[in-house]
């Protein structure tokens, strides 16, 4: 029997029923469950079978101190292997405490993803 509150079935979003927690340690069966959405996003976008890397490109642009080749501003982008991107523990963080992350806590989605190439 699932003791968690179902907020959303797909992707999984289950909440701890606070009225059932009676100590500072939350029992495993009452600990919340969240999907981190990257896997779901990739599946919904139609990830191609032969894709081996996932590239996420943010809206950030800048000129590296060493200079860019070709010269000019470049976008902030990171990639990860397909196998890693599809693991359940990989997440996309787009807010921190209900706000856009500061530059020190920035991620690809800090101001919305301008481009995500899938496949």
Cα separation, 32 vs 17, whole angstroms: 9
Task: Please report where in the chains the tokens 């779901």 appear, as a residue.
Answer: 40
Cα separation, 100 vs 82, whole angstroms: 27
- How does residue 27 score in pLDDT terms, banded at 50, 70 and 90? confident
Q: Parse the chain into domains and list their residue ranges.
A: 1-35, 36-117
Is-contact 64 74, C-beta < 8 A?
yes
Who wins on pLDDT, 20 or 72?
A: 20
- How does residue 104 score in pLDDT terms, banded at 50, 70 and 90? low
Q: Give pTM, 2 decimals.
A: 0.52
Query: CB within 8 A of 23, min separation 6: which ones?
Result: none
Q: What 3-state DSSP class applies to 75?
A: strand
Task: Please report where in the chains the tokens 């996003």 appear, as a residue.
Answer: 41
Q: For residue 25, what is the DSSP state?
A: S
Q: For residue 101, what is the DSSP state?
A: P
């Amino acid at each position: 029997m699932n003791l968690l509150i179902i907020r959303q079935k797909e992707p999984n979003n289950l909440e701890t029923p606070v009225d059932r927690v009676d100590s500072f340690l939350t029992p495993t069966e009452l600990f919340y469950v969240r999907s981190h959405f990257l896997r779901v996003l990739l599946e919904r976008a139609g990830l191609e079978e032969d894709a081996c890397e996932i590239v996420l490109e943010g809206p950030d642009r800048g000129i590296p101190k060493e200079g860019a080749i070709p010269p000019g501003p470049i976008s902030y982008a990171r990639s990860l292997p397909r196998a890693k991107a599809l693991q359940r523990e990989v997440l996309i963080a787009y807010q921190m405490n209900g706000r856009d992350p500061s530059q020190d806590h920035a991620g690809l989605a800090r101001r919305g993803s301008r481009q995500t190439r899938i496949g």
